[in-house]
């Protein structure tokens, strides 16, 4: 029922074309009744297809290239490669190899790294190796710089706000335009609110690896309805909507409490797209059993093997929300979180022409980046 006009990789306001230039389309494409939606943005993905972003290998660059290519079929047009808690040497080797780049036929665009840990709580470490965890005791921000080696190309840092001196670290990161996320934490609500007042804007996989909601002290979860959020600021929260990490009722509670902050993330690991069995997540061995991923020999969940389009469909089904709402949780909201909503996450004029064609069941039919088709279902005979 609508036309979408694209020129030079951007979504075009057709009035300019019709009235100023008296032009018309060079190429017309029949979308065959598809839904056109902004490309998905995954701000937390640890790897996939046998590639682990937390393992320093000789062919790290080709590994990241493989993942960025494969996730096009899931509708992801840009992402933040995520590193779990690792020794400093690993950050020093890997971070210089993660360069921010635009997407294209070669794969989804890279928006910058998400560093999840090692400044997190021992009690809520989840699948993160305890011997690599660190605190800010001595040098605060200097400790963080020494651990990571460099913050070039870093987009998001997940830390536990109850740690001593975390406030100054949050301020320093925020000053540099890095998004601070609260997670893997035993923080109470006032510690979480203080972190937001210092600049934190995100919660890493809500409900997972944090204190459960308690009516007298709701903990980090309480940020969803807190009245202590600075004016004009929105707190976003990631949800792994795979039907395993959070019960559908918990997903509904979060969504109804704070719909505009919900960001779908896959938290996918190297085993995404591979057969069940043993795979890695950074320093740990994990076992995949169906859609469940555990640290080998335990029942500790460690990331997911869900694809972004699966998460969108599950979210829509679990909450009964509108199709638009489900799609925005994977596109507009992550773009707003990263402050790139003028370029990505919408179909507004002058934004990047990264978009998907989906059928009514929200299965991806084709993926476009900068107005060029980079994946189509029938072309691969899938």
| Catalytic site positions | 267
Query: Quick one: which of 254, 242, 158 has its CA closest to 206?
Result: 254
160 carries a ligand binding annotation: no
Q: Count the residues in the chain.
A: 382
Read off the DSSP letter of residue 250: H
The answer to whether 210 touches 143, Cβ cutoff 8 Å, is no
116 carries a ligand binding annotation: yes
219 carries a ligand binding annotation: no
127 carries a ligand binding annotation: yes
CA–CA distance, 40 with 239 (Å, rounded to integer)? 14
The answer to whether 111 touches 79, Cβ cutoff 8 Å, is yes
CA–CA distance, 263 with 327 (Å, rounded to integer)? 10
CA–CA distance, 114 with 205 (Å, rounded to integer)? 13
The answer to whether 317 touches 310, Cβ cutoff 8 Å, is no
279 carries a ligand binding annotation: no
Read off the DSSP letter of residue 163: S
- Decide: helix, strand or coil at residue 80: strand
Question: Residue written as tokens 């997407």?
Answer: 103
153 carries a ligand binding annotation: no
CA–CA distance, 68 with 65 (Å, rounded to integer)? 5
123 carries a ligand binding annotation: no
205 carries a ligand binding annotation: yes
The answer to whether 22 touches 42, Cβ cutoff 8 Å, is no
189 carries a ligand binding annotation: no
215 carries a ligand binding annotation: no
CA–CA distance, 240 with 29 (Å, rounded to integer)? 35
Is beta strand 179-182 parallel, antiparallel or unpaired with respect to 154-159? parallel
106 carries a ligand binding annotation: no
User: What is the chain's alpha carbon radius of gyration, rounded to the nearest angstrom?
Assistant: 20
Q: Which residues are annotated as a binding site for Zn(2+)?
A: 116, 184, 205
Binding-site residues sit at 116, 127, 184, 205, 208-209, 216, 245, 301-303
Residues in binding site for substrate: 127, 208-209, 216, 245, 301-303
């Amino acid at each position: 029922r609508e036309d979408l006009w694209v020129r030079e990789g951007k979504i075009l306001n057709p009035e300019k074309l019709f009235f100023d230039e008296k032009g018309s389309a060079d190429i017309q494409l029949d979308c065959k009744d598809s839904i056109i939606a902004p490309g998905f943005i995954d701000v937390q993905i640890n790897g996939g297809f046998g590639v682990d972003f937390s393992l320093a290998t000789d062919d790290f660059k080709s590994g990241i290239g493989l993942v960025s290519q494969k996730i096009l079929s899931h509708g992801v047009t840009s992402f933040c490669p995520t590193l779990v808690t690792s020794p400093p040497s690993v950050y020093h080797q890997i971070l210089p190899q993660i360069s921010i780049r635009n997407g294209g036929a070669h794969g989804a665009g890279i928006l910058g790294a998400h560093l999840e840990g090692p400044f997190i709580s021992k009690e809520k470490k989840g699948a993160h190796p305890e011997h690599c965890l660190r605190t800010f005791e001595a040098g605060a921000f200097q400790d963080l710089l020494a651990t990571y080696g460099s913050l070039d190309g870093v987009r998001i840092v997940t830390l536990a706000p109850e740690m001593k001196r975390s406030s100054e670290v949050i301020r320093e990161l925020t000053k540099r335009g890095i998004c601070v996320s609260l997670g893997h934490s035993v923080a109470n609500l006032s510690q979480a609110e203080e972190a937001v007042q210092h600049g934190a804007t995100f919660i890493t996989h809500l409900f997972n690896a944090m204190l459960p909601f308690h009516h007298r002290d709701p903990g980090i979860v309480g940020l969803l309805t807190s009245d202590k959020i600075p004016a004009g600021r929105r707190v976003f929260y990631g949800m792994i909507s795979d039907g395993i990490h959070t019960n559908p009722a918990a997903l509904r509670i979060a969504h109804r409490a704070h719909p505009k902050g919900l960001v779908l993330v896959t938290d996918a690991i190297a085993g995404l797209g591979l057969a069940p069995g043993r795979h890695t997540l950074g320093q740990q061995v994990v076992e995949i059993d169906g859609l469940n991923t555990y640290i080998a020999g335990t029942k500790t969940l460690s990331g997911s093997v869900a694809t972004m389009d699966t998460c969108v469909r599950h979210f829509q089904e679990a909450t009964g929300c509108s199709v638009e709402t489900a799609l925005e949780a994977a596109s507009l909201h992550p773009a707003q979180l990263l402050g790139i909503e003028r370029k990505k996450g919408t179909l507004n004029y002058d934004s990047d022409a990264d978009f998907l064609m989906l059928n009514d069941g929200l299965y991806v039919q084709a993926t476009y980046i900068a107005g060029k088709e980079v994946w189509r279902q029938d072309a691969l005979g899938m």
